[in-house]
């Protein structure tokens, strides 16, 4: 089963995963498939034992001799039939995915690729946990598998490679099950140390599936890379250009597209369209046209969609001011810093310059925004575009600030944030609470 047996090394299970397995025992039969020992060889549970809420209490303080997912089984587990049914439900829910996989041979190729994903029992357990305890994560994984299979098929891949693309999409976020769900579901925006588990989840996911010979190394590598961006603005390693594998580039694009369909986000297709148009250097240019072709058939938004245009204009003006404030902050810091910290500031200079170009290329200047009036209320397309632009710019500012904070902490010599930088970061942190941005 395992490409590299884990019996030789003890395993520290995350409390979140232990809790998820315990919770699963409330709704379906979960049993130990073999005895569970701690790292010292002490038996903690017999094989064949029923898993219940007490599992967490018995195991949380121990390092285990084998990963927990190799020692427990849930029945019935997610299988090819379940994946196919979930994919069909997603296609029915989202017109974008229905256009991607129209009825007929095209749909069958995509569905067959998903059904062909190998599911060793520990992987099936993770998917079952996602479906039953984290349904939004399971839904996202299904959308990723569908879109990756579509992109591979559009690129002329073989059926085998289409199945590999579907597997990478389906399994890319398994590591999220090892993060405290209360952290992820919090209404508070994560910053600083609270973001660390999120930044490492691609590595966790790759380690989880890298144990199994069923998945080639290209899949494992792509999973590590699914949050990388061609311009170096991604994580966990900030890879640039060709340092990201072809399948990793596919996952990176699919990740940002499917994220717009997570939960109950408004106007997902318009947001995808805008995101790809204003970030042309972040995603593989050979893959993006396939997404644009699907978006051309999106329905025109209704009048008034996106909310009052005046509110979007106010938000954009406030965000543009924050970009302008960074320029003066950077000039001041440039006189105070040198070495690696100055290089970090230069990196943020480039990112914020890109955001500024994004506004200009979208025709967003103070003069143009001031000239827009109430007539926009009758133009649903323009109203949604302004709303989506404000949403994207806000997200990009937060991402840039968080990236700077993360890399600053890892840069030697250790330095506190200079006063001007700390003030700008605090201002960005509170943008959500600023009048007109709530």
Residue whose C-alpha is closest to residue 167's, from 111, 108, 226, 117? 117
Q: Tell whether the model's pLDDT for residue 298 goes beyond 50.
A: yes
* Same-domain status, 321 and 419: yes
Residue scoring higher pLDDT (225 or 11): 225
pLDDT at 53: 82
CATH number at residue 379: 1.20.120
Same domain, 127 and 266: yes
From the number of C-beta atoms within 10 Å of its C-beta (0-12, 13-18, 19+), residue 413 rates as exposed
Task: Please write the tens of the pLDDT for every residue from 44-84.
Answer: 999 999 998 888 888 989 999 999 999 999 989 999 999 99
Please say if the pLDDT value at position 31 is more than 90.
Answer: yes
pLDDT at 435: 45
Question: Which of 263, 295, 327 delimits the end of a domain?
Answer: 295
Rounded to 5 degrees, φ, ψ at 212 are -110, 130
CATH, residue 233: 1.10.3210.10
Residues 384-395 have pLDDT tens digits of: 778 888 888 888
Q: Is 105's pLDDT higher than 70?
A: yes
> Same domain for 138 and 265?
yes
Residues 66, 88 within the same domain: no
- CA pair distance 402, 391, nearest whole angstrom: 17
**What integer pLDDT is reported at residue 5 of this predicted model?**
39
Q: Between residues 45 and 9, which one has the greater pLDDT? A: 45
Q: How many domains does the chain have?
A: 3
Give the C-alpha separation, 162 to 168, whole Å.
10
- Could you tell me if 123 and 19 lie in one domain? no
Indicate the Cα dihedral angle 184, 189, 193, 196, nearest 10°. 50
CB neighbours of residue 394 within 10 Å:
19
pLDDT on residue 280? 82
**Which are the contacts of 316, defined by CB distance < 8 A and separation ≥ 6?**
359, 364, 369, 386, 389, 390, 393
pLDDT in tens, 202-218: 999 999 999 999 999 99
Same domain, 41 and 99: no
User: Is 22 exposed, middle or buried, given 0-12, 13-18 or 19+ CB atoms closer than 10 A?
Assistant: buried
What mean pLDDT comes out for the span 119-147? 96
389-431 pLDDT tens trace: 888 888 888 888 888 888 888 888 888 999 999 999 999 988 8
Q: Per-residue confidence at 367, pLDDT binned at 50, 70, 90? A: low
| 119 and 45 within one domain | no
pLDDT (average), residues 85-98: 96
Q: Which of 30, 60, 75 is the C-terminal boundary of a domain?
A: 75
Give the lowest-confidence range in 16-20, 249-253, 374-378.
374-378
Amino acid 6: pLDDT: 41
- Return d(Cα 99, Cα 295) in angstroms, integer: 9
Q: Tell me whether residue 9 is in a domain.
A: no
47 located within any domain: yes
Nearest to 53, CA basis, from 74, 84, 24:
24
In a domain, 2, yes or no: no
pLDDT digits (tens, 9 = 90+) for 311-339: 888 888 888 888 888 888 988 888 888 88
Mean local confidence (pLDDT), 305-316: 78
CA distance 327 to 352: 9
Q: Is residue 360 part of a domain?
A: yes
Q: Is the dihedral of CA 165, 233, 137, 305 positive or negative?
A: negative
Residue pLDDT, tens place only, 348-365: 888 788 777 767 766 666
Residues 6 or more apart whose Cβ sits within 8 Å of residue 113: 145, 149, 152, 153, 159, 162, 163, 165, 166
- Say yes or no to pLDDT of 368 above 70: no
- Tell me, yes or no, whether 316 and 385 share the same domain: yes
Residues 26 and 116 in one domain: no
Amino acid 108: pLDDT: 96
Q: Which of the listed residues 264, 295, 326 is the one where a domain comes to its end? A: 295
Q: Mean pLDDT across the stretch 218-222?
A: 98
The reply to whether 168 falls in a domain is yes
133 and 253 share one domain:
yes
Same domain, 220 and 109: yes
Instruction: Give the tens place of pLDDT for each residue, 121-130.
Output: 999 999 999 9
**Do 76 and 28 contact (CB within 8 A), yes or no?**
yes
Domain contains 269: yes
Euclidean distance between CA atoms 403 and 350, whole angstroms: 13
Assess whether pLDDT exceeds 50 at residue 374: no
Based on the fold, state whether residues 277 and 170 are members of the same structural domain.
yes
45 forms beta bridges with 36
Tell whether 302 is covered by a domain.
no
Residue 379 pLDDT > 60: no
Domain span at residue 43 reads 15-75
pLDDT: which is higher, 420 or 169: 169
């Amino acid at each position: 089963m395992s490409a590299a047996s884990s019996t030789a090394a003890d395993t520290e299970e995350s409390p979140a995963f232990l809790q998820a397995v315990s919770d699963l025992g409330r709704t379906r039969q979960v049993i130990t498939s073999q005895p569970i020992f701690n790292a010292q060889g002490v038996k903690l549970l017999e094989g064949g034992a029923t898993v219940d809420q007490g599992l967490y209490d018995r195991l949380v303080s121990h390092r285990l001799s084998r990963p927990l997912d190799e020692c427990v089984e849930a029945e019935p587990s997610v299988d090819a039939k379940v994946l196919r049914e979930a994919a069909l439900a997603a296609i029915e829910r989202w017109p974008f995915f229905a256009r991607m996989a129209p009825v007929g041979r095209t749909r069958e190729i995509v569905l067959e690729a998903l059904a062909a994903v190998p599911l060793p029992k520990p992987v099936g357990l993770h998917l079952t946990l996602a479906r039953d305890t984290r349904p939004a994560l399971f839904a996202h994984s299904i959308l990723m598998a569908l879109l990756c299979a579509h992109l591979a098929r559009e690129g002329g891949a073989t059926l085998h490679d289409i199945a590999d693309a579907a597997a990478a999409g389906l399994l890319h976020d398994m590591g999220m099950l090892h993060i405290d769900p209360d952290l992820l579901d919090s209404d508070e925006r994560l910053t600083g140390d609270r973001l660390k588990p999120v930044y490492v989840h691609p590595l966790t996911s790759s380690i989880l599936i890298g144990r199994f010979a069923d998945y080639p190394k290209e899949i494992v590598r792509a999973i590590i890379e699914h949050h990388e961006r061609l311009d170096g603005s991604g994580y966990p390693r900030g890879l640039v250009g060709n340092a990201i594998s072809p399948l990793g580039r596919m996952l990176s694009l699919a990740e940002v597209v499917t994220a717009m369909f997570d939960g109950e986000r408004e106007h997902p297709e318009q947001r995808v369209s805008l995101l790809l148009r204003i970030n042309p250097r972040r995603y593989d240019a050979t893959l993006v046209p396939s997404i644009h072709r699907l978006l051309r058939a999106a329905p025109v938004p209704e009048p008034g969609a996106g909310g009052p245009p005046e509110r979007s204009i106010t938000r954009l003006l406030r965000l543009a001011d924050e970009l302008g404030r960074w320029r003066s902050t950077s000039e001041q810091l440039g006189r105070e810093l040198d070495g690696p910290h100055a290089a970090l500031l230069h990196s943020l200079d480039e990112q914020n310059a890109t955001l500024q170009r994004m506004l200009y290329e979208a025709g967003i200047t103070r003069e143009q925004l001031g000239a827009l009036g109430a007539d926009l209320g009758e133009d649903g397309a323009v109203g949604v575009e302004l709303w989506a632009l404000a949403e994207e710019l806000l997200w990009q500012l937060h991402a840039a600030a968080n990236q700077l904070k993360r890399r600053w902490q890892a840069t030697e010599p250790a330095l506190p944030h200079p006063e001007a930088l700390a003030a700008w970061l605090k201002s960005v942190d509170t943008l959500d609470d600023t009048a007109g941005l709530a």
